[in-house]
Structure 1
């Protein structure tokens, strides 16, 4: 079942690049943080950013559908999705759900202890926030009064102001559910209503481009402004004392109005590339926040000489779906993405705080900045279709080259300066209607090779942009048809070109007159991808197959068949073991190169347009049709036990996976393995693999290596100040030597059955020594070994030093200790501990051993046991060394 519902290798991780949609953002000032939080909708989720540094703080849970509207107060963030309303605490905890609407909700406003909502069927409902119960319901006739906006005028107790599509205004008392007053209006749709700092005054934005300041008490218009740059979609007032009104238009422009002089104060042209959805000035600060459906959130500061606003911070993604993604660094943390909006972005896979926009391609950047107000940019270049980069010389000159749709010009970009480069690369002679089709930047970063639709292949210098030659003779191009791919090896010695003439040509990098080898292909090539480390060249063919060519032997080594549509992108993994491909049949396939088999396949809802595997092998990045984000898929092999086997696409059902979301998905515990292994018990490593082999202990090196140098360690660790003496424990409770005060209760356990008090205090032996003297068989010695291994090095030295007869020990105790070492050596366990204990014993009692024959005989048996163990191990080592040497010589 696992193969039918998931991919063997990849699992959805998260999506990058989503910032905002057409839903206005929600500002919330948190007094405890001393910061304003900004909540923006990104489809089925909403993000919470901190206004101080635009850092992403939290991501909400998934909604049943796209978020249609948002609002907030000091306690909750309210979101509407489909027919339901949700209340969230701390940006991610769902607290309340309000149901009752029969149509999607498009207006929300918290009103004290109640929540006001209006749906598409023109039904107004009021809910009790805590009880989630419906408090009031009002029905409006859409032909007479179609509600478009909602506002609460300050000081108007229990009253709300409704704007309509017919241009009328109605003031309602929601406590008595009565209509207080009807404003006849201006026979134009009301787009926005905002309360002014002055009492009884509201600003009304009409669809005919007019903005009116209207006094509600006297039903009289105070001043009227005409907005000539599109309809006003949102408006706000500065709340820091300046008499300024700010309006945002559907064309993306921002206009500041001086209310005292009743004129335009300043303008920000093309603040957004789409309609401004939300605009709000922050309380008591010269700051303004805007968001738009162009997938951007921007913070502006009013510090210009003319009273205008300057962009202070921004968080933005692609305004139109990206069609290219590529890893540009060996760390795999940064992605290069290009989209239909003509812009190039850098996206960080660790944190979105480091995301940057490199701008849009332009024929003349200086002239584009000097264009007249509200005039379209005539210097804008078409979207990017191909990318190639090399970061070796990124600090010195441009490191990225790009091809634009339908153009022969190739532009350069600087990753270090985060902007478009100075060079526009074009060959000396080019015909009409010719366009660049492919390119590659060399591994050294000094050259870029470009292929064109007429068969030419040209070489340019990345530093200076100077043309450095072309491949082919004077009157003959490199190929007779369009060049579909151009690649260079890692040493800049060879150039490989693939053309529409079904030929794969190999050229010398410096000698560019004739190719030194031509390989005839069976199928036409659409794109190429070279892995420079392994020398493998992947060719995507027009018959939906993939051919793998070894550029060292210049032969075809693999063929992969399985796609049912045009192949959009191919890439190798970091170790050149997998080839990952995607096509218009909405599938992503992983091919195992050594076995030439398909080992993983999954499908997605929308076709993948581009993919890139991380150099570290942890993530696969993909872009999809009509999706603004870049999706990351985690590699399961890095953290899970996965068994790969060949797949026959004709006999299996291809699993369809959901695209990753903003929230990291939790792994499904029922679908961890890809093959049903049954009730396989968890593997536990045995204490000893074989009794003939030597097994080391799991003790840290300091527990046994420092036993012979404890005097040096004590001298080094001697405290400079006098130690404070801890409170002494009762004399009748023995303690265990350790960093913490612990009592040794083993003595009480051994004497539970006796009722007589034995005067053990008359004996000078320690607890370990008494246990060692009472040993009779191997099991008793094993208990002593466990006791000794649990002691610290200083405690072990104290136990060994106290075994001599002149300090309270005995010859029998020393013999028992040597017999314990014999047991350790014969068992072949804890080999290094036995050697260190023996060395410490010999160092401490050399004179006593030399005078005792009994101890000398025991030492002889220890020597024989250790020699047998070492000779057995030495024979195995020598045998393995000989086998390895013989294999090397073959």
Structure 2
């Protein structure tokens, strides 16, 4: 049975990826007045502002790994294989350039054109806007292999090409003519850089030689020699001092004074790998560098003697992480130990909270004599193989204990000070060939339990670093190498397992053995969930055992992995067990039901997994990957139906978070258009948009009569009509006063039908024409301009008695239906409909066509409110969860 991906976890983003071996691109944004640096991280690139090194954008991914990047004021160009892509807004692909037959390795934007060179000897000049090939130059790699490329300043339509054979050629790309050939210096050209002076360029070679050459006179002005191998990059300061920087494959940077023609200073170990690129900011004493050690660094020149110091940096692991754990109870920090020997903390909230605890080193006080004459690298400790952390007493003393590859002594680390601790925990009278293999810190943060390859299990006090005893009668708890140690929540039990196929239960205080279990195979690792008392064991036969430490019996057994199980983690409530193995699967087991409920494939096997204490994120570390990947727990945001998966379930591959492909192509936009954000008329089909009209214009429409009665002024008393001096009388015996005689016009009724006198309003005319065109924008705009009283009159006049017609009533219903279907003007649509029904519901009930339209409108209303109610409930649930997590 084939699967459909993970139903429980969804890729969110990647932490700790900043740079690789591809040289960065620097661009200046005139509107923002800020520099941005673009670095490649595999199939996508990241954009950071130089001021804070905060990430600005992550591009959509390309089919292959990016081989080079370049940028101008509008676009970022990235080459992956034979394809060149242009990105707008640092994210979206807006143009693709097809034409290379080999891998593209050089890019050079030049005005409205883009110049690219591949490994097969083709140099193509592209029209940036149209994507057409303007010029193609073909070189024989055996005689002129293009290895560097630059545009000389003030040389119109000129490009200077450097070759692996050492020669340089100056070309006019408009006329396709070779203007001049420079003989070179018998060394491969690795870098070309324009100096602040016109006609003068810097040439870096594979022999470490730097030549400052005048290309107009073909004259070498000065030369320098770097002792660290080939020149990987060149950069010139433009803020005054005549300083040139050169990068090396060893990670060192040399700074040369062009005025005095000598070496000023050097920055050793600027990067732990080769310096991919070094660029000075124009007019500022700042140097931006990046390297394959996954680091971006900004250096400032404010030291005496012209030296530079590190101003800010973003740095992750330079070698893949091997062990990851969440630190603390808030789930916001992930501790990661990598093969580069460093221990780092990555924040899931923001990169500014990341911490680098550094690289472990030998005890300087005790081994001062031994280390005399040793190099900086020899003083470093090997990589961390296992570690444990506790936040209970980390403000008082060290809260992290780590085991190192090939060493018996374990190290302590202080999370708050971001340094290695003062203690090296080593058992007394032990052989030097023993190795610490497992470690655990008690829940109170006072003790560390450490197991070694010789079968010892020792207890140390973290405050003083003193040895407090060991388990076992003969100072050996097991007859084989320890594979896992754990302590319970109340410091009553200590659990140990080793390669002798035994799981042992010890009293923590007396260190006496109480019971042991014989396992079916040698254990590979062990994980304890302290709150539930469930102990998970990964065996070498690829099976999993779950032991209840209260009853000390195996309560669950899981089989399904087809490779070594690398790591395990429990959910906060102890219900799920998430495991990762070398078969590239990540599986979730439900402990109450004893079933596999989720399984998905990843492209690279996961070597570490950790589910946050709040249950919101699953963190994974993978083989040959420098980042820590976050996956969101979908069950916290929406109902997830988890069903037992069959034995023949075939998982589906999930893309690692941080890279999503998007194939949409758009036109190239300018820098001004690039930064102007235009809000969409409607965000989505399931969302609604309000009209932004004042509430006084629509909220009181149903209460206009009450408002009029309440605001009606009291009429002043009217003066009686003046009586005539002589009252007319009727002739006769009895005197009677005569009544005024009404004329013939006055005897007729003065009440006329309103419809016989009134004319159609502009709104009625617009509504009638809109019904035939099915476009109700104009009548809606007229209604928006009306006040509440005028709006009531307009709606009242839609009936035949008011001068309207039945067709106008139907047209108004269709107008409300179109407003609700588009999702725009949601508030006034309901207000207008309520007033309309109040005025005309009696007459509408006698019209079958109008009632059918109203029934269709009623179903649309119910559907819209149901979608909104679901969105509100989901948002309120997520908000309440976030507030509870913060508290």
TM-score range with shorter-chain normalisation? 0.7 to 0.9
Match of 2:406 in 1: 406
- CA 1:753/1:270 → structure 2, altered by over 3 Å: closer, same or farther? closer
2: distance between equivalents of 1:91 and 1:755?
Answer: 59
CA displacement at 1:501 relative to structure 2: 2.4
Aligned counterpart for 2:524 among listed residues 518, 523, 526? 526
1:465-512: CA deviation from partner (whole Å, max 9, x where unpaired): 111111122x34111222221111111121111122222222222112
* 1:327/1:335 contact within 8 Å kept: yes
Q: How does 1:273-312 map to 2 (within 5 A)?
A: 273-312=272-311
- C-alpha distance after superposition, 1:77-136 (max 9, x if no partner): 111112121222221132222221111211111111111111111111111111221111
- Distance (whole Å) between structure 1 residues aligned to residue 660 and residue 36 of structure 2: 19
**Alpha-carbon contact 1:16-1:662 (below 8 Å) kept:** no
2:739 aligns with: none
Partners of 1:93 and 1:373 in 2: CA distance: 54
Give secondary structure in 2 for the equivalent of 1:221.
Answer: strand
1:826 corresponds in structure 2 to none
Mapping 1:133-212, distance limit 5 Å? 133-212=132-211
Aligned: 1:85 with 2:76: no
Measure how far apart 1:616 and its partner are.
Answer: 1.3
- Asked if the contact 1:322/1:337 (under 8 Å) is kept, the reply is yes
Alignment match, 1:456: 456
Q: What secondary structure sits across from 1:280 in the alignment?
A: strand
C-alpha change, 1:334 and 1:735, in structure 2 (3 Å) is: same
Q: CA deviation at 1:520?
A: 3.0
Work out the CA distance in 1 between the residues paired with 2:706 and 2:145. 88
Separation in 2, partners of 1:174, 1:86: 21
Counterpart for residue 625 of structure 1: 623
Q: Distance in 1 between matches of 2:513 and 2:68?
A: 63
Report the equivalent of 2:34: 35
In the other structure, the counterpart of 2:651 is: 654
Deviation at 1:351, TM superposition (A): 2.4
Q: What is the CA–CA distance in structure 1 between the aligned matches of 2:562 and 2:216, rounded to whole Å?
A: 69
2:232 aligns to what SS in structure 1?
strand
| Match runs of 1:843-862 below 5 Å | none
Aligned residue among 581, 589, 594 for 1:583? 581
What is the CA–CA distance in structure 2 between the aligned matches of 1:220 and 1:450, rounded to whole Å?
68
Tell me, yes or no, if the aligned pair for 1:164 and 1:190 is still in contact at 8 Å: yes
Counterpart CA distance in 1 for 2:188 and 2:345 is: 41
Q: Secondary structure at the match of 1:4?
A: coil
Mapped to 2, the partners of 1:659 and 1:279 lie a distance apart of: 30
In structure 2, relative to structure 1, the CA distance for the partners of 1:45 and 1:748 (3 Å cut) is: closer
Query: Partner residue of 1:712?
Result: none
**Residues 521 and 539 in structure 2, CA contact (< 8 A), matched pair in contact too:** yes
Cα deviation digits, residues 7-54 of structure 1 (max 9, x gap): 121222222211111111111111211210111111111111011111
Within a 5 Å distance, the mapping from 1:596-635 to structure 2 comes to 596-635=594-633
SS at match of 1:208: coil
| Shift of residue 376, structure 1, vs aligned partner | 4.6
CA contact (8 A) 1:270 1:374 kept: no
Deviation readout 1:142-164 (Å, 9 max, x if unpaired): 11111100011112222111100
Once the 2 structures are TM-superposed, how far is the Cα of residue 601 of structure 1 from its aligned partner?
A: 1.5
Quickly say closer, same or farther: Cα 1:116–1:736, change in 2 above 3 A: farther
Once residues 709 and 385 of structure 2 are traced to their aligned partners in structure 1, the CA distance between those partners, rounded to angstroms, is 72
Partner secondary structure for residue 270 of structure 2: coil
How far off is 1:406 after superposition? Answer: 1.4
Contact persistence 1:26–1:39 (CA under 8 A):
yes
Q: Does the 8 Å contact 1:5/1:657 carry over to 2?
A: no
User: Distance in 1 between the 2:374 and 2:127 partners?
Assistant: 46
CA pair 218-427 structure 1, distance change in 2 beyond 3 A: same
Shift, 1:533, TM fit: 0.6
Give the drift of 1:365: 6.5
Is the 1:13–1:664 contact (alpha carbons within 8 Å) kept by the matching residues of 2? no
8 Å CA contact 1:603, 1:655 repeated in 2: yes
> Is the CA contact 1:269–1:373 (under 8 Å) kept in the aligned structure 2?
no
Matches within 5 A, 1:806-825: none
TM-fit CA distance, 1:414: 1.1
Alignment of 1:714-863 (within 5 A): 735=707, 742-743=788-789, 745=792
Displacement of 1:193 in angstroms is: 1.0
Q: Is the 8 A contact 2:619 2:629 kept in 1?
A: yes
1:438 equivalenced with 2:435 (yes/no): no
3-state secondary structure, aligned to 2:352: helix
The question of whether the paired residues in 2 share the 8 Å contact of 1:523 and 1:542 is answered with yes
Contact 2:619 / 2:628 at 8 angstroms: preserved in 1?
A: yes
User: Offset of 1:349 from its aligned partner?
Assistant: 1.7
Q: Mark the runs of 5 or more structure 1 residues left unpaired by the alignment.
A: 667-727, 757-785, 792-890
Stretches of 4+ aligned residues off by more than 6 angstroms: 365-368, 370-374, 746-756
Equivalent in the alignment of 1:862: none
How many Å separate the matches in 2 of 1:85 and 1:565? 39
Distance 2:246 2:139 in 1: 29
Q: Indicate if the aligned counterparts of 1:211 and 1:225 stay in contact, CA closer than 8 A.
A: yes
Partner SS state of residue 632, structure 1: strand
Q: Which residue matches 2:225?
A: 226
Q: How many residues align?
A: 692
Please state how far the C-alpha of 1:207 moved relative to its aligned partner.
0.8
> Aligned partners of 1:164 and 1:751: how far apart in 2?
82
**1:653 shift after superposition:** 2.0
Q: Secondary structure at the match of 1:353?
A: helix
Task: Provide closer, same or farther for how the CA distance between residues 136 and 752 of structure 1 changes in structure 2, counting only shifts above 3 A.
Answer: closer
> What do residues 574-596 of structure 1 show as CA deviations (whole Å, max 9, x unaligned)?
11001111212221111110111
The structure whose RCO (Cα within 8 Å, separation 6+) is larger is 2
Residues 779-832 of structure 1 show CA distances to partners (whole Å, capped at 9, x for unaligned) of xxxxxxx99xx99xxxxxxxxxxxxxxxxxxxxxxxxxxxxxxxxxxxxxxxxx
In structure 2, distance between residues paired with 1:315 and 1:183: 40
Deviation at 1:76, TM superposition (A): 1.3
User: Where do 5+ consecutive residues of structure 2 fail to align?
Assistant: 664-699, 711-785, 804-829, 836-887
- Given the superposition, is the C-alpha separation of residues 632 and 210 from structure 1 closer, same or farther in structure 2, using an over 3 Å criterion? same
In structure 2, do the counterparts of structure 1 residues 274 and 751 end up closer, same or farther at CA, with 3 Å as the change threshold? closer
Q: Cα offset for 1:535?
A: 0.8
**For residue 263 of structure 1, what is the aligned residue in structure 2?**
262
- Give the conservation status (yes or no) of the 8 Å contact 2:410–2:436: yes
CA 521–132 in structure 1, closer or farther in 2 if over 3 Å, else same: closer
CA distance in 1, matches of 2:234, 2:373: 21
Q: Which residue of 1 aligns with 2:487?
A: 488
Partner residue, 1:363:
362
Distance 1:365 1:92 in 2: 48
SS of 2:392's equivalent in the other structure is coil
8 Å Cα contact 2:127-2:133 kept in structure 1 = yes
- Confirm whether residue 320 of structure 1 aligns to residue 314 of structure 2: no
Alignment match, 2:637: 639
